[in-house]
Amino acid sequence: MKYCSQCGSDKIRAAIPEGDSFTRYVCDGCGAIHYQNPRIVVGTIPVFEGKILMCQRGIEPRKGMWNLPVGFMENGETMPEGAQRETREETGAEVEILRIHTTYHVLHINQVLVFYLAKMHTPTFEAGIESQDVKLFDIHEIPWDLLAFPAHRFILEKYLAEPDYQGVHIGEFRQ
């Protein structure tokens, strides 16, 4: 951080503010403390008649690889709404959110992923602007060697191990 977003000062330093336990950017011009917190990423495991809808990435990182529909939550929406929106944007599919399935912490990039089990009522889908292709995969067809992210492997393995499990799976990835 080079400039304070509150006052515009360039008198920014990294310090542990009084009463805090984390290093923060502090403005010596106006005293503002700039908190940086994890970003929330929401997605779905969209299921239609036992098959899982996945996207082939049309953007970096890992363009051309496969993942579940997922993206950053926006201000003004709930986590389920964000997961539905991301699924719609990337796959053209409308889904019904059933429940939270997995939370996953990716510490080295400061993200918290929340995945919902979602039901597709019809097999209607198409590649969105960020996807090269979208496909319903039978569980034996999942492209394990072409998964874009380790979190998606964890999420899919947990789903396939216990598709009717009613709890929440929690994982983390440290690098």
DSSP string, 82-126: HHHHHHHHHH---EEEEEEEEEEEEGGGTEEEEEEEEEESS----
Query: Among 23, 48, 173, which Cα is nearest to 111's?
Result: 173
Query: Among 101, 1, 128, 120, which Cα is nearest to 15's?
Result: 1
pLDDT at 175 over 60: no
Q: What is the pLDDT of residues 136-167, one digit of tens each?
A: 999 999 999 999 999 999 999 999 987 565 55
pLDDT at 88 over 60: yes
Those residues whose C-beta lies under 8 Å from the C-beta of residue 153, and which sit 6 or more positions away, are 144, 147
Query: d(Cα 73, Cα 30) in Å, to the nearest integer?
Result: 30
What's the token pair of residue 166?
Answer: 């009613």
Query: d(Cα 58, Cα 71) in Å, to the nearest integer?
Result: 13
Please report, for residues 9, 17, 22, 27, the alpha-carbon distance to residue 45 in angstroms, rounded to integers and kept in the order given.
45, 41, 35, 43
With cut-offs at 50, 70 and 90, classify the pLDDT of residue 170.
Answer: low
User: In this predicted structure, what is the pLDDT of residue 169?
Assistant: 58
Query: d(Cα 105, Cα 108) in Å, to the nearest integer?
Result: 9
Query: d(Cα 7, Cα 25) in Å, to the nearest integer?
Result: 14
Q: What is the pLDDT of residues 97-143, one digit of tens each?
A: 999 999 999 999 999 999 999 999 999 999 999 999 999 999 999 99
Domains of the chain plus CATH, in order, are 1-36 (2.20.70.10), 39-173 (3.90.79.10)
CA-based end-to-end distance of the chain: 23
